[in-house]
Amino acid sequence: MLNLKNEALFATKSYIDGEWVGADNGATFDVVNPANGETVASIADLGRAEVARAIDAADAAQANWAAKLASERSAIMMKWYALIMEAQEDLAQIITAEMGKPIKEARGEVAYGASFIQWFAEEGKRIYGDTIPQHQPDKRIVVIKQPIGVVGSITPWNFPLAMITRKLAPGLAAGCTCVARPAELTPMTALALAELAEKAGFPKGVFNVVSGSNSSEMGKELCENDKVRKITFTGSTRVGRILMEQCSGTIKKMSLELGGNAPFLVFDDADLDAAVEGCIISKFRNAGQTCVCANRIYVQAGVYDAFAEKLAAKVAEFKVGNGFDESTDIGPLISKAGKEKVQDHLDDAKAKGATIIQGGTDSDVGELFFTPTVVTGVTSDMKVTQEETFGPVAPLFKFETEEEGVAAANDTIFGLAAYYYTRDIGRSWRVGEALEYGIVGLNTGLISTEVAPFGGVKQSGLGREGSKYGIEEYLEIKYLCMGGI
């Protein structure tokens, strides 16, 4: 089915301490292509004991990796980056096979994911300390930054490659070793990354990938093992809470990138065509399955009907299909449960009085496909207001005043990404400052880049990924007080 140039990238075993290993009991689990239900491969199904061994390997490799010059670590990471970009097409195929996204988006994910490796390979050379004017004549005060130690990552299925590199590239650059536990739905991309990491020359034990279907057992080991000094997680707020509790016993440092419920505001003075374009990108990328996808679209009364009409016309042009088809815009949803949630949100909106102006019918492409849909007349009592839909349904709310729009946008426990469209300079500042979100897009629907800090406030998480801030998450500050001078 896959036509890989480098067949070694089709890896089905886990990668621990520089070795490809199966489960102790020989167990495997199947990875299934959501577009057609076909099994892509059977993958090593590791349990808690094997995760503990991967942690031991990372722990054993930690001191030597931290002792390398930043430029030495950087050289290995740059090689990894180059190998990933060389394998862009193969990796994109693996992503599409196990996750379903359109192949053109998968290629984009490879480049986006690789960019974090390149960025942090550079950034790792700039981990500066500080000197502080002494408080006593015979003392000197120096501040140094050191790698935190072994990092455990737990990542979701929606960006099988980029979630791992966005989390672990800064850690590796800082001098941390790591154990990556990819989502059970998409482990193959992570294993392919391990194959390329080996070729790039990472010493054994520095980068480990453990595949397995029992997320809670594997997660417990990562959270409760004292050798792991940090957990970095992307996924739901529900699981984020569980991991926080599990990490409390060993007081681990944590980065959490959790659920979003992104508002997308269109003001009367917006450039409507630009707003429609931004909404399409933000709402429908990855079939609506990203944590920064617009979930609630608030349109000011003066442009509501015009915006709805333009958006519906664009959505009608989408081609739904198998991700391997170059012309596909919208692939399948990841799972039956995922599709049922989208349908439930739509049914709930309909039952409470919303109107479907585009789509809304079941897709005839396959079981997990969902026809891109636009709904008007959506109100705050509908499910879509409080929860992420994670699917290709665009619900349009109407608002009258700026205050009302901003208040509605902020009326959620989440605070990851928000978007707004206005050409008014005063409003640009006011609304930008008032939105309670970690990432705010003004007149753009596309905000992800390795050079800027990504992360949320409120119950959307802790910490930032990417940018000069991202590496701080993997460093401890040490204050050296020198006396007797």
Output the smallest distance, CB 215 to ligand ADP, in A: 3
- Residues 2-41: x where in contact with ligand ADP by CB under 6 A, - otherwise, as a string: ----------------------------------------
Asked if 354 touches ligand ADP (CB under 6 A), the answer is no
Query: Among 156, 260, 415, 456, which residue interacts with ligand ADP (rule: CB under 6 A)?
Result: 156
Query: Among 100, 147, 212, 235, which residue interacts with ligand ADP (rule: CB under 6 A)?
Result: 235
| H-type alpha helices, 68-161 | 70-86, 88-99, 103-123
# chain residues binding ligand ADP, by CB under 6 A: 12
Handedness of CA 356, 360, 361, 364 (dihedral sign): positive
Q: Give the Å distances, CA to CA, from 396 to 168, 311, 380, 411, 436.
A: 37, 10, 11, 16, 20
Spatial distance between the Cα atoms of 100 and 365, rounded to a whole number of angstroms: 13
Q: Which is nearer to ligand ADP, 105 or 184 (CB)?
A: 184
Output the smallest distance, CB 23 to ligand ADP, in A: 17
Q: What angle do CA 275, 277, 278 make, to 5 degrees?
A: 65
Q: Catalytic: 257?
A: yes
Query: Among 102, 219, 278, 321, which residue interacts with ligand ADP (rule: CB under 6 A)?
Result: 219
What number of CA atoms fall less than 13 Å from residue 354's CA on the CB side? 28
Q: Give the Å distances, CA to CA, from 105 to 100, 112, 408.
A: 10, 10, 31
Q: Name the DSSP class of 391.
A: S
Query: Among 239, 279, 368, 447, which residue interacts with ligand ADP (rule: CB under 6 A)?
Result: 239
Q: Give the residue nearest to ligand ADP (CB).
A: 219
Q: Which is nearer to ligand ADP, 42 or 64 (CB)?
A: 42
Output the smallest distance, CB 11 to ligand ADP, in A: 18
Q: Which is nearer to ligand ADP, 90 or 221 (CB)?
A: 221
Spatial distance between the Cα atoms of 198 and 118, rounded to a whole number of angstroms: 17
Output the smallest distance, CB 314 to ligand ADP, in A: 27
Among candidate residues 257, 277, 450, 473, the one labeled active-site is 257
* Tokens coding 230: 């940090």
DSSP string for 305-347: HHHHHHHHHHHHTPPB--TTSTT-SB---S-HHHHHHHHHHHH
Output the smallest distance, CB 335 to ligand ADP, in A: 9
Output the smallest distance, CB 247 to ligand ADP, in A: 11
Asked if 56 touches ligand ADP (CB under 6 A), the answer is no
C-beta separation of 156 from 233 below 8 A: no
**Residue the block writes with tokens 């009302």:** 404
* Site for ligand ADP, residues 177 to 196, rule: CB under 6 A: 183-184
Q: Which residues are catalytic?
A: 257
Q: Which spans of this chain sit near ligand ADP (rule: CB under 6 A)? A: 154-156, 183-184, 215-216, 219, 235-236, 239, 242
